[in-house]
Amino acid sequence: MVLKLETGLKLVCATHNPGKAIEIAELLDGRFEVVTAGALGLPEPEEVEATFVGNAVLKARAAADASGLITIADDSGLSITALGGAPGIYSARWAETDAGRDFAFAMDRVEREVKAAGGGDHAWFTSALAVAWPHGAVAAVEGRVDGRLVFPGRGSNGFGYDPIFIPKGESETFGEMDPARKHAQSHRARAFDKLKAALF
């Protein structure tokens, strides 16, 4: 069976994060009608896998089977050498507070923990993308971009940890870049390039 995504399909984006949904829709080049799992009222499955790919597949599978629509899911996060790869797959959990997700809180925690670990600014973003067909096949890819941390964070574009991450070869954080420049080099864009080569 050859897995292909035909232009014009209605796709579910398995996220409740508006920033991530916008970015994924932009990376899909307007080829599809995209609706989010949040808009459909689908529950967020518990992310119990040990890898980004495992969690992306889990989220895609759950939303595809629940909605009856082909679903794309992303699991991504920031890994820091000084912290042994943390927060990694727990990146979103580091932002959990009693009032909901707060990435300013998470970035403060990163700064504190890096300092406590003796410093070092090398970090990388990983994005795993999975596409699942309802009760059927699944395809998954992974992209990565290396860079360095900067404190305090800079810029209000993007989302998540973007304000504290400067990709290799750049002087601006992902939070300072305009979306087109970020999309040209981000971890998610690299994963999308692989996905497009495989499925489009």
Q: Considering the domain boundaries, does residue 3 fall inside one?
A: no
Q: What is the pLDDT of residue 86?
A: 97
For the chain, residues with pLDDT lower than 50 are none
What's the pLDDT at 153? 96
Give the CATH number for residue 59. 3.90.950.10
Q: Is 98 a catalytic residue?
A: no
pLDDT at position 172:
97
Provide the domain count of the chain: 1
Q: CA–CA distance from 12 to each of 36, 37, 41, 79, 183 (Å)? A: 5, 6, 12, 27, 21
Element (H, E) at 108: helix 103-116
> Cα separation of 58 and 130, whole Å?
9
Report the SS3 class of residue 63. Answer: helix
In a domain, 47, yes or no: yes
Q: Is 5 among the domain residues?
A: no
pLDDT value at residue 111: 97
pTM summary value: 0.89
Q: For Cα atoms 165, 18, 135, give the angle at the middle one, nearest 5 degrees.
A: 110
Q: Which of 180, 179, 176 is nearest to 163 (CA)?
A: 176
Q: Is residue 176 part of a domain?
A: yes
At 98-149, the pLDDT tens digits run 999 999 999 999 999 999 999 999 999 999 999 999 999 999 999 999 999 9
Residue 167 is assigned to a structural domain of this protein: yes
Q: How far is CA 108 from the centre of its chain?
A: 20
Residue 96: inside a domain: yes
Confidence (pLDDT) at 2 = 62
pLDDT at residue 92, as a whole number: 92
What is the pLDDT at residue 169? 96
CB 62 within 8 A of CB 40: no
Asked if residue 67 is part of any domain, the answer here is yes
Residue span of the structural domain in which 41 resides: 10-199
Flag whether 17 is in a domain.
Answer: yes
In sequence order, what are the residues at sequence separation of 6 or more whose Cβ sits closer than 8 angstroms to the Cβ of residue 156?
A: 163, 175
Which residue among the candidates 29, 65, 74, 75 is catalytic per the annotation? 75
CB within 8 A of 102, min separation 6: which ones?
A: 95
User: What is the residue whose two structure tokens read 């406590």?
Assistant: 116
What is the reported pLDDT for 130? 96
- The pLDDT, as a whole number, for residue 1 is 52
